[in-house]
Amino acid sequence: MTVNISFSKAPHKDSDAAVLCFYEGSEPSAAVSSLNYEFHGYIDNVLEKNKSFTGKFGQVQILVLPEDSPYAYAILLGCGKKDELDNLRAEKLGGKLVASLDSSNIESLEFYNDNDLAQSGELAAHIAVGISLRSYSFEIYKSKKDDDEEEKKLSLVHFVAFDSDNADETYSEQSPAIEGVFLARDLVNEPPNELYPDAYAKRIKAQLKPLGVEIEILDEKKMKKIGMGALLAVGQGSDHAPRMVIMRWRGDKSCADAPLAFVGKGVTFDTGGISLKPGAGMEEMKMDMGGSAAVVGLMKSLARRRAKVNVVGVVGLVENMPSARAYRPADIVTSYSGKTIEVLNTDAEGRLVLADALSYVQDIYKPAMVIDLATLTGAMIIALGHEYCGTFVNNDDLWEQMEQAGRETDEKLWRMPLDEVWKKDMEGTISDTQNMSKSGRWAGACTAAGFLSHFIEKDMEWAHMDIAGTAWIKSDKDTTPKYGTGFGVRLLDRFVSKNYEQS
Ligand code: BES
Ligand code: MN
Ligand code: ZN
């Protein structure tokens, strides 16, 4: 499932294919010239005949090499203009390369990096990151085929790089976050009959406890006792009882400062409940735990790189089902905070789950700041589609730090407005709050954030990421194969390391 990546100064010449970088408008590099010589001028010949290969960004040409060559194939990779290649573009390039190998049967690559470039080691590392991210696949529910029928997949990439030590180091810094992304994608891709709240909680423990993350699981009884009436209402129609999982990473035991808190919506399946969703497309609602998956992935990444920081992650895990026991529109429930909520639509369930999870983490941990992630509203997808994640932040510095981290990892954020008008809009008529806006469906992502703001304590730094459009995609992107994306894991890992870790 994952690609094994390595770096060294000298080639091994035992791979299926050699990858050669070409730059638009530049002479072929020394590496290319020497391989061309080794292949008896073959590459020059091909380029002479095929003028359409210009080294344009992402262009790929796979050549079959003559019998006596050290590789079966040469892959010409267009890297675009030399001075435009930065870390982000390098990652995309790695992704495009992997995509072009689909159904090629090539299992191993020797990648000749362009050593003429300054920072070539760092670029090689980022190409490797892109290769890794794009090579993810989710296949545990496919039955095994016979070996000769099995499609061959890329599994080994060796980089030849002048500063291979630097490349190796840069890649190693990135790989814990990649592992976190893969865990988040796995969780989102799991079917809801397998990943129901209790199974999910057990899986979190199995994944994170061995890495030194402290895990606490609250069951229904405990949540009843402490008054989580909002989260419990959402789960009460399901035969799978809800859970809340608290994950603590104490990477800086010497520091007594307040921890950072991350909260995730973990609705393992969202039918809408009694306010039932239409049938078409309902299967996609297995991804309604994407926020929680990102938090779990983040905790894995922090623990894998032994991050010097104290973080608490909280996920509310519930299944939203219609049944004779289900909560109904018009029910009034009491949340952990003590505020009452009138349920006007049982499909606006995520905000109820978050309300209790947010109140709990603020009450128990008094964090320095809290960021929540949730596939909260269809309105967010209408507003920003699948490219940008709408983010509501009550503090300008926090916003800048988050946006910058997202720029670096290519998880783009767009700031959305928090306004008193919408907070007010979510006040109840016969209760403290209500889970639907009084003004209808307009600005649905903003009114949802307005609801959440009722559960944020005074002066608490807070950001809410509505990842409804970014947690799940139905067509491939350069570094993200379709379905669960793991959106948020790399961004938040970067955000934490840049702003909150002492080095
Ligand atoms: N999980 C959905 C939001 C969603 C929709 C996520 C599509 C990803 C893709 C959420 O629980 C929901 O149903 N929201 C409602 C809120 C409405 C009833 C106020 C919505 O967006 O329609
Ligand atoms: Mn819903
Ligand atoms: Zn939902």
- The CATH code of the domain that includes 106 is 3.40.220.10
Same domain, 154 and 184: no
Tell the residue nearest (CA) to atom 14 of ligand 1: 377
Q: Could you confirm whether 351 is annotated as catalytic?
A: yes
Among 112, 120, 132, which Cα is nearest to 86's? 120
Q: For residue 344, what pLDDT is reported?
A: 98
Closest ligand 1 atom, CA of 288?
1
Distances 459 to 362, 367, 368, 418 between C-alpha atoms, Å: 11, 11, 10, 14
What does the pLDDT read at residue 29? 87
394 and 437 belong to one structural domain = yes
Is ligand 1 within 6 A of the CB of residue 114? no
Task: Supply angle C-alpha 75, 105, 114, rounded to 5.
Answer: 25
Q: Exposure pattern of 133-161 as b/e (b: 16+ CB <10 Å)?
A: bbbbebeeeeeeeeeeeeeebbebbbbbb
User: pLDDT value at position 1?
Assistant: 55
Last residue of a domain, one of 162, 185, 214: 162
- Domain of 418 in residue numbering reads as 176-499
CA–centroid distance, 349 to ligand 2, in Å, is 5
Ligand 1 within 6 A of CB of 292: no
- Ligand 1 probe mutation, 347, 381, 433, 436, most atoms within 8 A of CB: 347
Per-residue tokens: 494: 């970067």
Predicted confidence at residue 115, as pLDDT, reads 73
Query: Does 233 share its domain with 313?
Result: yes
Q: How far is the CA of 280 from the centre of ligand 1 (A)?
A: 14
Residue 235 lies in a domain: yes
Estimate to the nearest angstrom the gap between the alpha carbon of 437 and the chain centroid: 30
User: In order along the chain (503 residues), what is the average pLDDT of each group of 10 residues?
Assistant: 90 96 91 89 91 96 92 96 95 98 94 81 96 97 82 93 93 98 99 99 98 98 98 98 98 92 99 98 98 99 98 99 98 99 98 99 98 99 98 98 98 98 98 95 97 98 99 98 98 98 78
Cβ of residue 411 lying under 6 Å from some atom of ligand 1: no
**What's residue 503's pLDDT?**
67
369 alpha carbon, distance to own chain's centre: 21
Rounded (5°) CA angle 498-127-79: 125
**352 pocket-lining for ligand 1 (C-beta < 6 Å):** no
Give the chain's domain count.
2
Angle between helices 290-304 and 489-499 (to 10 degrees): 50
Asked if residue 444 has its Cβ within 6 Å of ligand 1, the reply is yes
Q: Which of 92, 248, 265, 351 is catalytic?
A: 351
Place of tokens 């290319």: 32
Q: What phi and psi, each to the nearest 5 degrees, are found at residue 441?
A: -95, 0
Asked if 185 and 143 sit in the same domain, the reply is no
User: What's the pLDDT score for residue 321?
Assistant: 99
Q: For residue 432, how far is its CA from the centre of ligand 1 (angstroms)?
A: 22
Asked if residue 196 and residue 106 are part of one domain, the reply reads: no
pTM, 2 dp: 0.98
Q: For residue 256, what pLDDT is reported? A: 84
Distance from Cα 348 to the centre of ligand 1, integer Å: 6
Amino acid, single-letter form, for residue 417: P
Give the pLDDT confidence score for residue 399 in this predicted structure: 99
Question: Could you tell me the two tokens for 407?
Answer: 């720029």
Residue nearest to atom 19 of ligand 1 (CA): 348
Cα of 439 from ligand 2 centre, angstroms: 18
Dmax over CA atoms of the chain, in Å, equals 84
Same domain? For 456 and 352 the reply is yes
Q: Which atom belonging to ligand 1 lies closest to the Cα atom of 448?
A: 19
- Shared-domain flag, residues 229 and 112: no
| 157 and 230 in a common domain | no
